[in-house]
Amino acid sequence: MNLARLLQLASPALPVGAYTYSQGLEWAVEAGTVKDEATALAWIGDQLEWNLGRFEAPLLIRMMTAWRAADEARLAELDAQYLASRESAELRAETLQMGHSLRRLIDDLGEGIAVPAGSSFACAWSAIVAAWRLEVPEALTAWLWSWAENQTMAALKTVPLGQAAGQRILLDIGGRIADVVERAMKLDEEHVSNFAPGFAIACARHETQYSRLFRS
């Protein structure tokens, strides 16, 4: 049952609109930074290792722990920290929209979880993980895989790339996720950092990109 729950949370069928966002990747393609399979893999891999692995993953771990402990003050602190890390208007709008959609879904499922209005997607997602009593490492693996799959699909559409190239990217990225999870589980508070200026610039530049498929 836990595996089925994890697959449900990682599925593209989760109705939160993740497929409409590229998180700056579309601008990286426009700028020529990402232009083929190798550069798409480099972009996605770097984001996994240096952005999600050092900031989003450890923060999500702490959110899941806070939900389990019913520590509302800690949750509010962590959610505020996550929202402050969204360095462009599009990134902030993305996590708030997805958080709102997941919060409504949680209500529709009758789970009885009181996710505060205006919560980030990470906060709402960690709430349902805690309610379903999923293990933290496995849940974090599902979160990272879902993100990687969405990024790969964005690359397939914008570069564009073929389906086989997408599967090669996912094969490579999937092989890194276990190490990223392990490092995130051990990362001290003082070493949690979202310092990824190239990512922030790409997200900000996307806001004024003339022709685009994605909302971020």
pLDDT tens by residue, 135-168: 999 999 999 999 999 999 999 999 999 999 999 9
Is there a contact between 23 and 203 (Cβ–Cβ < 8 Å)? yes
**Does residue 76 lie in a domain region?**
yes
pLDDT tens by residue, 52-73: 999 999 999 999 999 999 999 9
**Does residue 216 lie in a domain region?**
no
- Mean model confidence pLDDT for the chain: 96
Which residue from 213, 208, 212, 196 is spatially nearest to 86, judged by alpha carbons? 196
> How would you classify residue 23: left for phi > 0, otherwise alpha for psi between -120 and 50, otherwise beta?
left
pLDDT of 1 above 90: no
Structure tokens that stand for 47 in this block: 């984001």
Q: What is the mean pLDDT of residues 37-65?
A: 97
Is there a contact between 168 and 39 (Cβ–Cβ < 8 Å)? no
Q: DSSP assignment, residue 8?
A: H
Q: Using the CB atoms, write b or e for 28-56: b if 16+ within 10 Å.
A: bbbeebbeebebbbebbbebbebbbbbbb
Residues spanned by the domain of 124: 22-206
**Does residue 78 lie in a domain region?**
yes
**Does residue 15 lie in a domain region?**
no
Which residue from 216, 213, 187 is spatially nearest to 61, judged by alpha carbons? 187
**Does residue 7 lie in a domain region?**
no
AA identity, residue 25: L
**Does residue 10 lie in a domain region?**
no
CA 45 to chain centre: 13
- Which segments of 105-170 are extended strands (E)? none
pLDDT tens by residue, 103-130: 999 999 998 899 999 999 999 999 999 9
**Does residue 11 lie in a domain region?**
no
Is there a contact between 183 and 140 (Cβ–Cβ < 8 Å)? no
Q: DSSP assignment, residue 116?
A: P
AA identity, residue 73: A
Domain at 49, CATH number: 1.10.4190.10
H/E element, 80: helix 72-85
**Does residue 6 lie in a domain region?**
no
- What lies within 8 Å, CB to CB, of 43 at 6+ separation is 25, 28, 33, 34, 155
Q: Is the dihedral of CA 116, 142, 134, 85 positive or negative?
A: negative
Number of structural domains (the chain) is 1
Is there a contact between 185 and 135 (Cβ–Cβ < 8 Å)? no
pLDDT tens by residue, 4-16: 999 999 999 999 9
